[in-house]
Amino acid sequence: MAKRRFHIMTDSASDMPESYYKEHDIDVSELGLQINGKLYGGADGEKIDCKDFYARLRGGAMPTTTQVIPEQVTEHAEKYLAAGEDILAVVFSSGLSGTAYSFSAAAKELQKKYPQRKFFVVDSLAASMGEGLLLDYVIRKADEGASIEETRDYAEALKLHIAHWFTVEDLFHLKRGGRVSAATAVVGTMLNIKPVMHVDDDGHLIPVINKMGRKKSIRALVDYMDELQCMDENDPVFISHGDCEEDALFLKELIEQRFGKRKFIIHYVGAVIGAHSGAGTLALFFKANHR
């Protein structure tokens, strides 16, 4: 393996396992979450266990979330620049959070202080493990020995080919976020309607179709993958879930039945994304001809 020639940063909305960040030497800036006045994540908050978080959510907790702020990015990044390392950051969609702006603002100020260094920010226009999947491709490109400019350009060309398809169990979290109306949430819940949604080219969540029942909505994710995917045997598939691992494994089984064995990473939808999507969210991410 060639030596990586720069440092890579991301934010916690990429929802990858902690072990993944450690294995690949990725610096992570944390978005924040408040539950009953207590801060988790962010610059100073405690860690929150995902299973505990979803138990609280099911128990009626109403969390609020905060973006990464520029001061956090500066604190994480400056040590690398001061040591003579350039930085490439892959960050949460600007269509869903101000985190990308915070990274860009910090990068601009730090480049004034360290004019000989490079600090590039890629707005992934992605969320959860869609951001994580783009990060994974970026890491592999960097570990091949690509320059920071080559890797940035590769990420920019690839990001609109990272497809996000997901379904939710609880429509009321989408109502809170303004994704569906109150009437739709009530009627949809009564009729067991499960929306299938995706993230578009602007990084926004877009409802696509409704399915009657959970199993049909999960099968629809695989149908969209069949229609859009452009993977080869080395391309991984990522699945994130809001504390519904059985459904994630069912989705994996359906994919393997249709496409054969491939590399999967299955992990939780993190607490910040989960605060908006709810328990029971199931999301599928893969390389596609287009989103």
Q: What is the mean pLDDT of each run of 10 residues along the chain (291 residues)?
A: 89 97 97 94 90 94 94 97 98 96 98 97 97 98 97 98 91 58 52 77 83 88 97 95 97 96 96 92 97 93
The encoded tokens of residue 100 equal 């990308």
Please give the CATH number for the structural domain made up of 161-287. 3.30.1180.10
For the four alpha carbons of 272, 275, 277 and 282, in that order, the dihedral sign comes to positive
Position 116 scores a pLDDT of: 97
pTM of the model: 0.93
Position 177 scores a pLDDT of: 56
257 vs 62, 111, 226, CA distance in Å?
Answer: 38, 49, 12
Position 182 scores a pLDDT of: 59
- Rounded to whole angstroms, the Cα distance separating 195 from 37 reads 31
Instruction: Answer for the pair 114, 82: CB distance below 8 angstroms, yes or no.
Output: yes
Residue corresponding to tokens 């450690």 = 22
**Residues 202, 205, 206: CA angle, nearest 5 degrees:** 95
Mean pLDDT of the chain: 91
Residue corresponding to tokens 């009729």 = 191
Same topology, domains 7-159 and 161-287? Answer is: no
Centre a 10 Å sphere on the Cβ of residue 60 and count the other Cβ atoms it contains: 6
Position 186 scores a pLDDT of: 47
- Rounded to whole angstroms, the Cα distance separating 29 from 91 reads 10
Position 207 scores a pLDDT of: 75
- Rounded to whole angstroms, the Cα distance separating 220 from 167 reads 9
Q: If DSSP states are collapsed to H, E and C, what string results for the chain?
A: CCCCCCEEEEEHHHCCCHHHHHHCCCEEECCEEEECCEEEECCCCECCCHHHHHHHHHCCCCCEEECCCHHHHHHHHHHHHHCCCCEEEEECCCCCCCHHHHHHHHHHHHHHHCCCCCEEEEECCCCHHHHHHHHHHHHHHHHCCCCHHHHHHHHHHHHHHEEEEEECCCHHHHHHCCCCCHHHHHHHHHCCEEEEEEECCCCCEEEEEEEECHHHHHHHHHHHHHHHECCCCCCCEEEEECCCHHHHHHHHHHHHHHHCCCCEEEEECCHHHHHHHCCCCEEEEEEECCC
Position 214 scores a pLDDT of: 87
Position 196 scores a pLDDT of: 83
Domain 7-159 sits in CATH 3.40.50.300: no
Where do the structural domains in the chain lie, given as residue ranges? 7-159, 161-287
- Rounded to whole angstroms, the Cα distance separating 176 from 192 reads 19
Centre a 10 Å sphere on the Cβ of residue 184 and count the other Cβ atoms it contains: 17
